[in-house]
Structure 1
Amino acid sequence: MAAEIDEQPSVLAGLVERQSEFAEVADAISKRPPRFALLAARGSSDHAAIYAKYLIEVLLGLPVGLVSPSTATIYGARPDLRDVLFVTVSQSGGSPDLIEATEVARQQGALTVSVSNTPSSPLAAAAELSVDIGAGVEHAVAATKTYSATLMSLYLLIDAIRGGKAEDAKSIGELARQALDGSGEGVGRAVDRYRFVDRILTTARGYSYPTALEASLKLAETSYLAARAYSGADLLHGPVAAVNGDTAVLAVTSKGHGSEAMREVLEAVSSRGADVLAVGSAAKDVKSALGIGVPETVEELAPVLEILPIQRIALGLSLARGGDPDRPTGLLKVTKTR
């Protein structure tokens, strides 16, 4: 897991160099302009899909929905999907339910696109178009480089659909290296601080919300923490009542509209005595919190960077708590759901 975390700057830089490949897929999509988009995924890939949802709604101005694969695989639903862009995100490309949902979507008239780390996967064969995230083999069960590479691939694809040429992502590899190299002290302090914690909340707004979701999953699957993710807005609508001085809160906040929306959330949890760890390019602006900063970039690219120190926190906590982050108990790399 440590080695794969460290590979991410080069993986991300390599993806930007392949921008023309994403532009080809984007051109094919542009020739069949969709009325709206649907996204299908599981696990870490589901968090990447939620990131894509923000990108598509904000940058392309299209409505987006998240698919429940079981509606097709278990209940046999066959909706009219003409003029719909159906994007399936799966690092392995081998999940039976996602493959079947993609096949059904294609049969029902959707333009289907697979986004995976296995270009020869059954999912890629099922979809009309495919995107290879090119992260290389990932041996650890916990997704690290495949997650950030999926985010980057989705950004490059959606940016290309709007006519961009990855201008804002040119230095993402170097920024990722800075994020990893500059977070060591903060990560160490966070591990020391939370190694005996049993429960943690993760929260964010906007583009950073998928990072909060992925952070919760990483902490749960590597360190067996009772971790729960909330949108900052949802946290204020009730769950904040359970926050007190025994609560650890990991707040993801990067410069932009999302961090502005998080101010009220951070004030609320801090006033209730929560122990706050802030991660992101706006982390240093959060008072009364341990902050781990990352380099500032355009807001829509922030999730690619802010997840990096969180992965290292998950790794460190797992080791400090006597776990094996490469082989968490009872977990498999590919989930065979239907």
Structure 2
Amino acid sequence: MSATHPDRPEEQPGRIMSGEMAEQPAVLRRILDEGAPRIREIAEQVAARNPRFVLLTARGTSDNAALYAKYLLEIRLGKPCGLTSMSTTTAYGARPDLTDVLVITVSQSGGSPDLVASAEAARAAGAITVAVTNNSDSPLAKVSEFHIDVLAGPEKALPATKTYTAELLALYLFVEGLRGGDGAAAKVLPELARQTLGRGAEVKALAGRYRFAERMVLTSRGYGYPTAKEAALKLMETSYIPALSYSGADLLHGPLAMVDNISPVIAIVTDGKGGEALQPVLDRLKDRGADLVVIGGREQVDAASAGFALPTADVPEELQPILEILPLQMLAYEVTIARGQDPDAPRALAKVTRTH
């Protein structure tokens, strides 16, 4: 990392990531104002073809967005839904019958060769293909029957932030469109996101707990589980701290044994059925004396070692992940800065990962 100079703030570590995090309220507003009509139009065309089930294809941060869509599709739409293994077609040459199957491929860049090849193969096999990207001119958009632009604008920092929340909102609006909804519940998100991002001092105080952490565990259930996975990814790719993410149910099936009174644990407690399902896990973590930080409602935060209370009292459970990830993005940023590293440029990573 090159030296920085007080009179040249453009070289400050993390400047790009910080700026892109701050753009998220405007990006969410843009999707609601400009993107929603086109998303609804695509959803209506897909719904008219009545797909028998859904497959989701993605990698990295977009894979966590796809997992969120899986919860939406199964809970809100009642459609069987799975996450694909691209190597079955790209490496092994499998050619499944995908007639009347909806295949949604999520990719920030739309440029990874395996995603493009997988979508192309799915369309040739009879699938209804929808690409969700931040690049309408991408190869993935061109090979797919339908394209949803998440309208996040150029993202230059290697850790994806604004494209992730944009993908979540676009996928929510798409699923709502499939079921005939208008997505009106999402209109509160830009302002609530602005309020949440304005509380950086609280997050910076939390970050002090993790500056010297050797390992972290993140857990949640239901709609919050993709948030746990995405937060773990952000922490690993920026600060290089090994961060393990588990569904609360899976945490009890063995990994709980590694948690002790010096183990940092972050629990994302969604206000709703997912949070209720996580409560026995929180009780077990407290019994083990874990250093428990909660991202969630005020009551759950007050009962933990520390936390960040989210403004989600009147937000439907299925929309809360768009707010949950914001303090965790800021946490990854602050921990990385505290460890003397630059979150804009994690080592060994490229913005477009070209897997095959």
Alignment of 1:122-201 (within 5 A): 122-181=139-198, 183-201=199-217
- Check the 8 A contact 1:133/1:149 in 2, yes or no: yes
Aligned-residue RMSD, C-alpha: 1.0
Aligned length: 337
Q: What corresponds to 2:355 in structure 1?
A: 337
- With over 3 angstroms needed to count, the CA separation of the structure-2 counterparts of 1:210 and 1:165, relative to structure 1, is same
Q: What is the identity, as a one-letter code, of the residue corresponding to 2:219?
A: T
1:318 to 319, 325, 336: 336
Q: What corresponds to 2:84 in structure 1?
A: 67
1:44 aligns with 2:61: yes
User: If the length of structure 1 is used for normalisation, what is the TM-score?
Assistant: 0.98
- Check the 8 A contact 1:13/1:171 in 2, yes or no: no
**Cα displacement (A) at 1:289:** 2.2
- Check the 8 A contact 1:88/1:115 in 2, yes or no: yes
- Check the 8 A contact 1:202/1:213 in 2, yes or no: yes
- Check the 8 A contact 1:56/1:64 in 2, yes or no: yes
Alignment of 1:61-140 (within 5 A): 61-140=78-157
Q: Segments of 4+ in structure 1 off by > 6 A? A: none
Distance between the aligned counterparts of 1:128 and 1:53, measured in 2? 20
**Cα displacement (A) at 1:286:** 5.3
Alpha-carbon displacement from aligned partner over 1:105-154 (angstroms, at most 9, x marks no partner): 00000000000000010000010000000000001000000000000100
Alpha-carbon displacement from aligned partner over 1:44-96 (angstroms, at most 9, x marks no partner): 00000000000000111000010001100000000000010000000000010
Identity across the alignment (%): 51
Q: What is the identity, as a one-letter code, of the residue corresponding to 2:135?
A: T
**Mind listing any 5+ residue stretches in structure 2 that lack a counterpart?**
1-16
User: If the length of structure 2 is used for normalisation, what is the TM-score?
Assistant: 0.93
Distance between the aligned counterparts of 1:102 and 1:140, measured in 2? 26
- Check the 8 A contact 2:293/2:301 in 1, yes or no: no
**Which range is displaced more, 104-113 or 269-278?**
269-278
Q: What corresponds to 2:262 in structure 1?
A: 246
**Mind listing any 5+ residue stretches in structure 1 that lack a counterpart?**
none
**Which range is displaced more, 324-333 or 274-283?**
274-283
Distance between the aligned counterparts of 1:131 and 1:252, measured in 2? 28
- With over 3 angstroms needed to count, the CA separation of the structure-2 counterparts of 1:80 and 1:304, relative to structure 1, is same
Distance between the aligned counterparts of 1:108 and 1:193, measured in 2? 51
Alpha-carbon displacement from aligned partner over 1:250-299 (angstroms, at most 9, x marks no partner): 11012100111111111111111110111123564551321201111100
Q: What is the identity, as a one-letter code, of the residue corresponding to 1:120?
A: D
